[in-house]
Amino acid sequence: MGSVPADLTRSVRRLAAPVLFPTVTAMRRVALAGVVANAGLIMTGAAVRLSASGLGCPDWPSCTSGSLVAAHTRGDPMIHTWIEFTNRVLTGVLMVVAVVVLVTAWRFRPGGARRRGIVWLAAAQPLGVLAQAVLGGIVVLTDLNPAAVSLHFLLSSTILALAVTLYVRCAESDAPPTRLVRREVRVFAVAVAGVTALMLAAGTVVTGTGPLAGSTFVPRSGGGPAYVPRYHLPLEGVTQLHADIGWMLGTLVAVTAVSLQLTGAPARARRLGWVLAGLVALQGVIGYSQYFSGLPAGLVWVHVAGSVLIWIAALLLMFATRDRGPVPGPAGAAGAPLAEPVPAES
């Protein structure tokens, strides 16, 4: 019996070792968990809105005025309450993951030195969860005001971008970046990320204008169904703008993918270029399908999930066109570069 505590202690130490004494591989795996968790929460948040459960918990930070957890509310079905409450619980899970990411980054000391840039990128995740919680409360207390909903989604997308950046940066040194592709191709890759961000922003305007408001019941309207605030914009106009940005993105991605292939870019960059081209093409098909089929909620959710994947792929492609070299080892020695850098004059 006396050996049980010792065995348990060894097991705990083994489980905690990747966090308390992280290698480059462990740090990257933890950072990847942060990417997955943040992307997952965006998708579950979209499911809340598309199932009309946005006001299933009509109060904040409690679910209702009389209950911290899911409880029956007058007017809205109980299923909506459970969906919204589950999403709030998942936010707590995300906070746990974010704290683990921060602790791992704080303990990550390749070559014996802490990397401040990595720590700051990791700190953005728990701070972002807190900001999301506050903004989420504003969304609820303003009865799903579309401006607050748009900011909520864009904040989530920004935190996801920082999580992707952490995932990339923790596996490379802090040396100045070296281009791995021709200058114009690098510009294309950066532009792809910028246009993707623009597309996400335009998508929130379409969402805030369209019929899927996130709820059919507003508890502060006197106890019955009421009008959920929307943007006072022509739906056809904002939808056309979103589609135009999509066509611009598709063209730019196609040019980038072909340019990467023809100029002998690193294999990883070429693969990401074609993956992104496929995702954008599929997203276009889904977008037009949902529009002409009357915006079915399930198909809209697939469209949101596709936007998240495109955002991640666009960021990874941008990072794949440059290199900072490998993380220094315990003795400060660096390995071979990822690829032969393109001369500055090319």
Rounded CA Rg of the chain = 23
pLDDT tens, residue by residue, 245-275: 999 999 999 999 999 999 999 999 999 999 9
- Backbone torsion region of residue 214, taken as left when φ is above 0, otherwise alpha when ψ lies between -120 and 50, otherwise beta: left
Rounded CA separation 155/40 (Å): 14
Residue 209 has pLDDT above 60, yes or no: yes
Lowest mean pLDDT among 15-19, 44-48, 305-309: 15-19
Q: Which residue has the higher pLDDT, 152 or 291?
A: 152
Residue 42 has pLDDT above 90, yes or no: yes
The answer to whether position 332 is within a domain reads no
The answer to whether position 345 is within a domain reads no
Residue 346 has pLDDT above 70, yes or no: no
CA 282-276-212 angle, 5° bins: 45
Residue 217 has pLDDT above 80, yes or no: no
The answer to whether position 104 is within a domain reads yes
Look up the domain containing 186 and give its range.
18-323
Contact 144, 229 (CB under 8 A): yes
* Residues present in the chain in total: 346
The answer to whether position 1 is within a domain reads no
Count of structural domains, the chain: 1
The answer to whether position 336 is within a domain reads no
The answer to whether position 49 is within a domain reads yes
Q: What is the mean pLDDT of residues 155-173?
A: 96
| Average predicted confidence (pLDDT) for the chain | 86
Residue 338 has pLDDT above 90, yes or no: no
Residue 333 has pLDDT above 60, yes or no: no
Structure tokens at 115: 């990397």
The answer to whether position 333 is within a domain reads no
The answer to whether position 96 is within a domain reads yes
Structure tokens at 18: 């990747």
Rounded CA separation 292/304 (Å): 17
- Backbone torsion region of residue 144, taken as left when φ is above 0, otherwise alpha when ψ lies between -120 and 50, otherwise beta: left
pLDDT, position 219: 63
Residue 73 has pLDDT above 70, yes or no: no
